[in-house]
Amino acid sequence: MASGPLAGIRIIEFAGIGPAPFCGMLLADLGADVLRIDRAGAGGGASGLGGTRFAVTERGRRSVALDLKRPEAIEACFKLIEKADALFEGFRPGVMERLGLGPDAALARNPRLVYGRMTGWGQSGPYAAAAGHDMNYIALSGALDAIGTADKPIPPLNLVGDFGGGALYLAFGMLAALLHARTSGEGQVVDCAMSDGAASLMAMFYGFSAAGMWGGGRRGNFLDGGAHFYDSYRCADGKWLAVAAIEPQFYAVLLDKLGVDDPAFAARMDPRAWPQLREKLATVIATRSQGEWTAIFDGSDACVAPILSMAEAPSHPHNVARGTFVECEGVVQPAPAPRFSATPGAIQGPPPANGAHTSEALAEWGLAPAEIDALVA
């Protein structure tokens, strides 16, 4: 029995890569019955990890393998669509229409359906049909230009475009549309472009820029590593500390814990002083190990934290206390988020192998035994 606030919601996922599976993971973690349609005979799974236990973003749903080049499989998809609350896909514009499964056809069979579409550039615009990846999408949003060293932009993994601007916005948009469908009976299309989402994530910084509070180039502003009080520093053992003492009261605690009483640090918000003050902080922090500094700052309001590797993060006491990481089939991975007091989410199951639930899931969703046998054959 699924647990979570979305228990009872039925969602069809057409298997894709990158942010689309991550969106499916988010929905499944919160209890939705996410049924993934895989290509029959395809290997590697949606993530390229072969449907193995390491395909973390594919966890929690069941897999049905269908040959979408056959009309019988398309009709089976429509029968599933008739019983679904939502559907999402991550193909280039026009692919689902060429399969005969575009939103017009799907909504004709189920007018209450929420049809989520995940692309890099969106369903319209001059770039809509072009290939791209996370770095390309955040480049046009202004985000990539703001992140990196003074010498060059550096992509922040694929967190800003794929997962932040893409998967999270698709999940948010689909849930908003589901609420609308519940009250109105009207389904609709959710056009989620990673380039749009990345731009939306930059809202505060566009406000700063318009107010004249941003524009010093990369590492020239107070939230991009330009300020000495918002940067990373190497410790004596080669490990790093994250220092984020923005507000004056936290800045005062930082200097106290560091044992710094240099009057030069009074120029906290003077960008001209930041390079010199950074060097002074770096010299002090380099005198002790990360563990020593962590013990000194632990529990204080200095806004200092150790920068942990992925191997270290799951065993940090705070993460352990909150259960931030869990283990599923021997693979350590992030637990479902966010937390719910009355309907807690949970990992509903390990990543499925391609087609592992074809007969079982199709029967549960109402297809007749003869139809299922024909599809499998």
Query: In a 3-state reduction of DSSP, which class is residue 377?
Result: coil
Q: Tell me which amino acid residue 357 is.
A: H
Q: Tell me, yes or no, if 162 is annotated catalytic.
A: yes
Name 38's bridge partners.
65
Q: Going by DSSP bridges, is the β-strand pair 114-119/86-89 parallel, antiparallel, or unpaired? A: parallel
- Choice among 133, 180, 301, 316 that is catalytic: 133
Q: How far apart are CA 320 and CA 350, in angstroms?
A: 21
- Only one residue has tokens 């770039």, namely 127
Q: Going by DSSP bridges, is the β-strand pair 10-14/86-89 parallel, antiparallel, or unpaired? A: parallel
- Which tokens in the block code for residue 305? 């934290």
Contact present, 85 and 6 (Cβ < 8 Å)? no
- Choice among 33, 162, 224, 231 that is catalytic: 162
- Considering just the CA atoms, what is the radius of gyration of the chain in Å? 24
Q: Tell me, yes or no, if 228 is annotated catalytic.
A: no
C-alpha to C-alpha distances, 258 to 27, 208, 255, 368, nearest whole angstrom:
44, 31, 5, 71
As annotated, the active-site residues are 133, 162
